[in-house]
Amino acid sequence: MRNPARTLYPKSYDTTRRLGFNDPGRKKTRRAFFMGLGSNFLYLQLLFLGLFCYVFGALFQQNGHTHNLGVVFVDYDGGAIGNAVRGAYASLESDTFITLVERPPSDFPTPADVADAVCKTRFWAGFYVAEGASDRLHDALQPDNTAASLAYDGTRVMSYVWNEALYPTAIDSAVSANIQLLASAARVAYSTGNGTGGVSSVSGPAALSVFANPWQLQSLDIQPTSQGSRAIYNTIVIILILIQEFFYLGTINGLYAQFKLYARIDPYRIIAVRVVASLAYTFIGSLCVIGTIFAFRANWDIDGSQLVLSWIALWLFAHVNFLTLDVFTIWVPPAFVPMALISWIILNITSTLLPFDLSPAFYRLGYAMPAHEVYQVLIDVWSRGCNPQLHYALPVLFAWEVASLALSTLGVFRRCHFATIGAEREAHEFKERLDAAVAFQLALERKVEKKKSDRAHRQGSTATAVTNPESINAVGTADRPATEGNDEPEEKKQPETEGGQDAASSTTSDEESEVHDELAEIIHRINTRQQRETERTGGAANFGPSFNLLFSHGDGDDDGAQ
């Protein structure tokens, strides 16, 4: 059966241009190839090892940092239930449990003040015991007070306030679950300890029911965020936005490379077009992102105004990253641009995975990352102002915007500078090759003319000798025996003439081969010198990664303008 690979790609089996195993050129290439292979192998392994360590380090011993989450506790009751809560917390207190920060009612006169403190992110949650809760429970447990037992409302005992929109996947387990555990432990402490307030016995179905379930913890969630898509708001959404900007940046670079615009268009026009194109692209891209979040929000309570504000925040974030990635492609050496891209993504994502209170202090450098700041803005928008971090989040985002825009603008001038140098070098190289070819042709023509002149000179000398009488006699005497002795017919001499033509043809072919070799050597020498010059001066020119266009219009050789 015929090999299908040979049928589809027959030239892949052509060995005429393959280097032999012991070929000197192959040895040199093999050494350079494996050195490059090994060095990049090492760089990439070290890079990804570092990135993995960075990400896992942010999540390392997350539970052990739970004590950094402060929850304010206010006992408006001042009775047995508050004592039960304190006893339960004393038994639960550890590094893996939230820190209960008790404040007197004078600091927070009403539960609304507790909710306001949580809204202002002074605490991760607020936990309080309602006023008169211990007395109501005590009355409901009295054996002769059936009416109080029946009228008892266990939902009016203790409550907690929290904001689920604030890192929902983390706060559910670290804050809400621990407060519920604290309430359950307090129930046990109340029923088994001295918290019963002097109740020695409980009788009657109603009283027993109250004693078995003295309270139901009430959750006051500022912004319920229970939809399944909440898990990707601070992860995959951020990653896709970053990749989205990188792809379009590569497309724009491909357009400028295809049409060679850096050397043909005024840099100010290039800057204007790139800024307008990036603003339009990120404008539509951010609309698609927030539109998708809004469309799949399920029962999440956000309205149109929050949608618009979220759109603006994501637009700013997307444009910041477009400009920042452009800065990378300008100033970072081309070989390290992919490494810079993946590092930028990981640094941004790590800054949004968890609250900094649940990560080692080192990871607070994430405050400088645009992803962390835009997520803080989004939380503030989604929870209707209950994450007042705009005083630092917006300045950081705008600082990235201004700095990246300045460096990106300067990079356009840099690219235009080196593109013009490259165009001038190409023109100079073409002229150099042309001049070398013309000089070679002129030298060849002079050489041919010299040969013709020498031949004519020899023929002239022969003619002069023939016109001399003595030469005539000598020539006649010398020629006569040959003439007389030559009895061969005329056609017998024809092979000698043809042999002479073959010799002349062979001489011409040798001359052409010699000319070809000389010209090839000259061109090779020029190309080698030009290539070395390009490698020496071309390292500073970096036009960034570029992608082939999905749909190409024109070949880039027309004198079009932006």
Exposure string (b/e) for 413-433, b if CB count within 10 Å is 16 or more? ebbbebbeebeebeeebeeee
**Most distant CA pair in the chain, distance:** 169
User: Which of 62, 410, 135 lies closest to 268 in space, CA to CA?
Assistant: 410
Residue 380: CB atoms within 10 A of its CB come to 21
For residue 469, the model assigns a pLDDT of 53
CA 163, distance to chain mean position in Å, is 32
Number of alpha carbons in the 13 Å side-chain half-sphere of residue 5: 3
**Distances 155 to 148, 181, 214, 303 between C-alpha atoms, Å:** 15, 17, 9, 30
Q: What is the pLDDT of residues 514-529, one digit of tens each?
A: 777 777 777 777 777 7
Beta strands in 42-178 (DSSP E): 70-75, 99-103, 125-129, 158-162
Q: Which CATH number fits domain 63-222: 2.30.30, 3.55.50, 3.30.70, 3.40.1710?
A: 3.40.1710
**Distances 516 to 357, 396, 444, 521 between C-alpha atoms, Å:** 76, 66, 11, 9
Domain extents in the chain? 63-222, 233-424
Q: Rounded to 5 degrees, what are φ and ψ at 551?
A: -130, 120
CB of 46 closer than 8 Å to CB of 339: no
Residue 313: CB atoms within 10 A of its CB come to 23
Residue 560 CB partners (closer than 8 Å, separation 6+): 259, 554
- Strands 158-162 and 125-129 turn out to be antiparallel
Which positions of the chain have pLDDT values less than 50? 472, 474-479, 481-488, 491-493, 560
CA distance 302 to 383: 9
CA distance 200 to 70: 36
CA distance 73 to 12: 77
CA distance 333 to 419: 16
Sheet with 70-75: list strands edge to edge.
99-103, 70-75, 125-129, 158-162, 218-221
CA 97, distance to chain mean position in Å, is 37
Q: Tokens representing 80?
A: 């047995």
Write the burial class of residue 26 (CB in 10 Å: 0-12 exposed, 13-18 middle, 19+ buried): middle
CB of 158 closer than 8 Å to CB of 220: no
For residue 444, the model assigns a pLDDT of 77
Please compute Rg for the chain using Cα positions: 44
User: Which of 163, 179, 177 lies closest to 222 in space, CA to CA?
Assistant: 163
